[in-house]
């Protein structure tokens, strides 16, 4: 469906939209009805191309609020720039005016063409079709263009999904933008959230790295804590390839979290759940105990010097005491 959408847009721009295509006649309540809201971008595109293409200033086009790329560094953009310099811009981009600033535009599709023309020294304007498009249709078009034209990596798709969620778009719209189901959308968002934008920006697109390694890295970041980016940054500075940076980050965090802890690494403080002091029931000289509970562990401490007889007995009987406590816990759970 995504390929059909952009095939229609490009064909329309060339003046060859097939108006007999039965797929264009499906109603809004059909299985493809939701996608038809996007197809409104290409309806009548031949007439728009002939009559409504305008030259607009390059600096009047702003970036989308939706983060969809870590860096637009596709080497093919340079080839496209050379082709446009030689033959001129044949296919216009599509933009929409900003509601509060009609002299400024947000790009809907044609990001590679825009990036290529911005590389040309003498270019100041670009050919564009101006359409008033709903937010949902714009982000679906942006996501589908990314999938078809820009070859985004796994983590770039995850960032795009997360950014859409932050902008208030629902799971259905995000799924249509990425051409994935709701379950996959949730997995993308979780990986982006767990890994964190600071760590992702240090690594880059990492096109060779798929979901499972990124998920593992996200788990390690969560285990290490908020200083994960600072911990891996020095080891990544000398690496040019983002795939190598990912592997190095993964190895370094594994060493800090899974294996022997790095003594110099900042530790994530345990969140305190409860803490209290109490005295055992009985005589006034009963041992004073201190209890500490956190999200990681609980600890019961007794001052040994003031309670030597009791703590010596506890040393000898702690195994049986622990078993009895567990048995009481199991009995308490039974209805």
> What's the order of all strands across the beta sheet hosting 288-294?
272-279, 288-294, 298-302
The verdict on 143 and 216 lying in the same domain is no
Domain final position from 99, 126, 151: 151
Domain final position from 89, 117, 151: 151
Separation of alpha carbons 9 and 44, rounded Å: 10
The verdict on 5 and 136 lying in the same domain is yes
Domain final position from 151, 168, 194: 151
Q: What is the pLDDT of residues 138-176, one digit of tens each?
A: 777 777 666 655 567 899 889 888 888 887 888 888 888
The verdict on 59 and 134 lying in the same domain is yes
Q: Please, which pLDDT band fits residue 273 given cuts at 50, 70 and 90? A: low
Q: What is the pLDDT of residue 3?
A: 38
Beta bridge partners of 93: 128
Residue 244 has pLDDT above 60, yes or no: yes
Residue 202 has pLDDT above 60, yes or no: yes
Helices (H), 225-307: 228-236, 242-257
Task: Give the structural domain span for 100.
Answer: 1-151
The verdict on 79 and 197 lying in the same domain is no
The verdict on 140 and 158 lying in the same domain is no
The verdict on 288 and 249 lying in the same domain is no
Q: Please, which pLDDT band fits residue 201 given cuts at 50, 70 and 90? A: confident
The verdict on 243 and 182 lying in the same domain is yes
CATH of the domain at 111: 3.90.1530.10
Residue 83 has pLDDT above 80, yes or no: yes
> pTM for this structure?
0.49
Residue 22 has pLDDT above 70, yes or no: no
Mean pLDDT of 307-326: 81
The verdict on 117 and 236 lying in the same domain is no
DSSP string across 49-94:
HHH-EEEEEGGGEEPPSS---S----THHHHHHHHHHHH---SPEE
Q: Please, which pLDDT band fits residue 326 given cuts at 50, 70 and 90? A: confident
Pick the residue with more confidence: 150 or 319? 319
The verdict on 21 and 129 lying in the same domain is yes
The verdict on 162 and 139 lying in the same domain is no
Choice among 104-118, 170-184, 262-276 with the minimum mean pLDDT: 262-276
Measured in whole angstroms, the distance separating CA 234 from the mean position of its chain's CA atoms is 23
The verdict on 247 and 322 lying in the same domain is no
The count of domains in the chain is 3
- pLDDT > 90: what percent of the chain? 19
């Amino acid at each position: 469906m995504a390929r059909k959408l952009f095939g229609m847009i490009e064909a329309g721009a060339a003046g060859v939209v097939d108006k007999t295509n039965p797929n264009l006649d499906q109603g809004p309540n059909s299985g493809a009805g939701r996608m038809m809201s996007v197809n409104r971008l290409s309806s009548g595109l031949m007439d728009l191309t002939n009559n409504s293409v305008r030259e607009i200033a390059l600096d009047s086009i702003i970036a989308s609020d939706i983060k969809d790329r870590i860096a637009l560094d596709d080497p093919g953009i340079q080839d496209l720039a050379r082709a446009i310099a030689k033959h001129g811009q044949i296919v216009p981009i599509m933009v929409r005016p900003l509601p509060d600033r009609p002299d400024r535009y947000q790009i809907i599709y044609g990001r590679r063409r825009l990036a290529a023309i911005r590389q040309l020294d003498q270019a100041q304007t670009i050919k564009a079709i101006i359409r008033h498009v709903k937010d949902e249709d714009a982000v679906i078009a942006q996501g589908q263009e990314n999938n078809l034209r820009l070859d985004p990596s796994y983590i770039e798709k995850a960032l795009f999904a997360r950014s859409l969620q932050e902008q208030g778009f629902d799971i259905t719209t995000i799924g249509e933008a990425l051409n994935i189901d709701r379950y996959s959308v949730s997995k993308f968002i979780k990986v982006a959230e767990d890994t964190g934008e600071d760590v992702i920006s240090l690594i880059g697109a990492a096109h060779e790295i798929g979901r499972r390694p990124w998920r593992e890295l996200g788990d390690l970041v969560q285990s290490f804590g908020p200083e994960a980016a600072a911990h891996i940054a020095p080891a990544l500075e000398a690496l040019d390839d983002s795939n190598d940076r990912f592997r190095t980050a993964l190895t370094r965090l594994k060493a800090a979290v899974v294996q022997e802890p790095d003594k110099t690494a900042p530790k994530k403080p345990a969140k305190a759940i409860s803490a209290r002091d109490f005295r055992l029931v009985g005589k006034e000289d009963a041992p004073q105990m201190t209890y500490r509970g956190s999200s990681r562990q609980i600890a019961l401490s007794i001052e040994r010097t003031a309670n030597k007889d009791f703590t010596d007995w506890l040393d000898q009987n702690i195994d049986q005491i622990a078993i009895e406590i567990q048995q009481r816990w199991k009995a308490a759970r039974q209805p």
